[in-house]
Structure 1
Amino acid sequence: MQQKYTILELYGQYSELQKAKLSELYELITTSGEESLNQSLKWNQLSFAAKNGTPVRIDRYSEEEVALFVHCQTTLVEQWRGLFGDRLTFSGNRAILFSVHEELPVEELKVCLQMAFNYRKGKK
């Protein structure tokens, strides 16, 4: 049986704002419609992987930001910049950053998650 982790278990020492924003990300990911989503820990970060995709991880990035991370050797962040460069903030080729003080860009995130969870399907 797959281990389920909670934001409080993993990130209990984080600020209330960080935990709240990570909880929002967690909820969005787990309700993304991806049926084969596997939850695990990678580098002490909550990781979600789909059979045909590349894993995404969530964690704090700074005191004021949390992030959705992807493997730096994918082309996902480059693609997301092309689609949402005017609406999302990125870190290099590995993450989308979210302020703990602002609403999550839900519609954009749904697109990004679907692209990540189907990344290898598109590579075949």
Structure 2
Amino acid sequence: MEKAEPAFRDPATEAAFADFDEDARTALLRVRAMIFDVARSTQGVGRLEETLKWGQPSYLTPETKSGSTIRLGAPNPGSIAIFAHCQTSIISDFAAHFSGAFSVEGNRAVHVKVTDLEAAEGPIRHLIASALTYHKR
């Protein structure tokens, strides 16, 4: 498996990444690195907890409770998904801000083609920051 930054603390979460096909795993590990980077560089987020929720890698802000859970998945071949709690406005706010630029699944997820990930990094970082600071708004 590709090197992951930071190192995995939970073998079950590491195994979940290993279960994705190679293209999805590479893309999701890149998003994972973005999540940790955005958390480090965003004031008030604090330590992240990486765990599994519904069998998917998930990221929470347990100390500050600043954010809403982010989950990662690959529900369709050739694409990945970034999930947020469906009772928040995280996805709808993102969809409004980046109107028509991404495939959005209601208030639940943003889907990104693996081949589009590099070009989508800025908006994805925006989505991550919005989720990690959702309760600070």
Q: What aligned pairs does 1:70-109 form with structure 2 within 5 A after superposition?
A: 70-104=84-118, 105-109=120-124
1:120 is matched with 135
Is contact 1:69-1:95 (8 Å) kept?
yes
Matched, 1:9 2:20: no
2:125 is matched with 110
30-39 or 44-53: bigger deviation: 30-39
1:35 partner SS: coil
CA RMSD of aligned residues (A): 2.0
Residue deviations 1:6-30, cap 9 Å, x none? 8751132332111111111111111
Q: How many residues align?
A: 121
CA 1:58–1:11 in 2, change beyond 3 Å: closer, same or farther?
Answer: same
Give distance in 2, aligned partners of 1:78 and 1:5: 33
26-35 or 56-65: bigger deviation: 26-35
Q: Which 5+ residue runs of structure 2 have no aligned equivalent? A: 1-7
Give distance in 2, aligned partners of 1:42 and 1:93: 18
1:55 is matched with 69
Q: TM-score, structure 1 length as denominator?
A: 0.86
4-13 or 65-74: bigger deviation: 4-13
Is contact 1:7-1:22 (8 Å) kept?
no
Residue deviations 1:31-72, cap 9 Å, x none? 112432111110010100122110100011211211000011
